[in-house]
Amino acid sequence: MTPRRPLPAALAAAALVAALLFALPLAGLVARAPWPRLGAELARAEVRDALLLSLRCSLGAALLSLVLGLPLALWLAEGTSRLRALVRVLVTLPMVLPPVVGGVALLLAFGRQGLVGAPLAHAFGGALPFTTAGVVVAEAYVAMPFFVLTLEAGLRALDPRYAQAAASLGARPWRVLRTVTLPLVAPSLVAGLVAAWARALGEFGATITFAGSLRGETRTLPLAVYAALETSPDAAIALSLVLVAVAALVLFLLRRQWFPGGAR
């Protein structure tokens, strides 16, 4: 390890300000939390409804990401089409787009009067907005890119000779995928899945725009925080702490992926 020199004082001060910018909001939350009543706040029926709904919807979005995102990541990493660059941009878009804009776009596509929503509503007699399924779609729209791009990076880093060797020994593509490629890429797959799940759990803008906010049906944890902020701030802070705890857990689980080299 090379010896390190200390930062110039001005840079160190700026670095401290930056670190405080991230530390102080957490401190504020912890300082204002209704600690003695935390259990009671979290046991309230509307809080439990939001927790269970968030869990269901975020797991649904993660599952959707796995089922649809895995083939997409494979195609992006190993396909030969010229369209891949365009599709990659499309997949990345929800990561940089304001989620509210994503919600409006989802309405215009899958709403009752939407591009594909209108014929679907006509055929099946229902539409996604204001439904729990709509929450899953909104969350998947925002979260799946994290899975697809993480997995694609993992697939690209693989040595192609393993798969080639397996194929030359007579393994069919499905078998190569199942027994060679996926096991090798498992760390990226899990990391991408957890990242997508965490993003889905925290989703707010697209959800409230596309699915609305109804207790037990579409009011997930972040939406419940927003609804409770003015009327019952203690409940909002308690819910926020739950989300912070989940985020901390995710960071801990993914520490190898996101902090390679780790703390020295």
Partner 1 sequence: MRRLATLLCATLFVGCGPSRPPRAALVFASASLGDAFEELAAEFARAHPGERVEVHAAGTPQLVLQLREGARADLFASADEASMERVVALGRAAEAPRAFATNRLALLVAAGNPEHVRGLSDLARADLRVLLCGPEVPAGRYARAALARADVVARSASDEPSVRAVVSKVALGEADVGVAYVTDARPELGLVELGAAENVVARYTLAVLDGGDAPATAADFRDFVVSERGREVLARHRFGGAP
222 forms part of the interface with partner 1 (CB under 8 A): no
Q: Per this entry, what is the length of the chain?
A: 264
225 forms part of the interface with partner 1 (CB under 8 A): no
Among positions 61, 219, 235, 254, the unique one binding partner 1 when judged by CB under 8 A:
219
Q: Can you read off the two tokens belonging to residue 93?
A: 């878009």
User: What is the nearest approach in angstroms of partner 1 to the Cβ of residue 215?
Assistant: 7
107 forms part of the interface with partner 1 (CB under 8 A): yes
101 forms part of the interface with partner 1 (CB under 8 A): no
Contact region for partner 1 (CB under 8 A) — 19-27, 40-48, 49-57, 106-114? 106-114
The closest alpha carbon to 52, from 146, 128, 127, 135, belongs to 135
Q: Can you read off the two tokens belonging to residue 79?
A: 């396909």
The closest alpha carbon to 42, from 258, 235, 261, belongs to 235
Containing H/E element for 261?
A: none
113 forms part of the interface with partner 1 (CB under 8 A): yes
User: What is the nearest approach in angstroms of partner 1 to the Cβ of residue 114?
Assistant: 9
User: What is the nearest approach in angstroms of partner 1 to the Cβ of residue 97?
Assistant: 19
212 forms part of the interface with partner 1 (CB under 8 A): yes
**CA 155, CA 238: separation in Å to the nearest integer?**
40
Among positions 181, 218, 220, 240, the unique one binding partner 1 when judged by CB under 8 A:
218
130 forms part of the interface with partner 1 (CB under 8 A): yes
**CA 228, CA 236: separation in Å to the nearest integer?**
5
For 204, the 3-state DSSP assignment is coil
The CA R_g of the chain, rounded to the nearest whole Å, is 22
Residue 7 DSSP symbol: P
First to last CA, the chain: 10
- Whether residue 158 contacts residue 78, with contact meaning beta carbons closer than 8 Å, is answered with no
Shorter beta-carbon distance to partner 1: residue 64 or 211: 211
Contact region for partner 1 (CB under 8 A) — 2-10, 55-63, 150-158, 213-221? 213-221
**CA 127, CA 208: separation in Å to the nearest integer?**
16
Q: Counting beta carbons within 10 angstroms of the beta carbon of residue 246, is it exposed (0 to 12), middle (13 to 18) or buried (19 or more)? A: middle
237 forms part of the interface with partner 1 (CB under 8 A): no
Shorter beta-carbon distance to partner 1: residue 75 or 130: 130
Shorter beta-carbon distance to partner 1: residue 119 or 173: 119
User: What is the nearest approach in angstroms of partner 1 to the Cβ of residue 93?
Assistant: 21
230 forms part of the interface with partner 1 (CB under 8 A): yes
Task: Name the site residues for partner 1 (rule: CB under 8 A).
Answer: 107-108, 111-113, 127, 129-130, 208, 211-215, 218-219, 226-227, 229-231
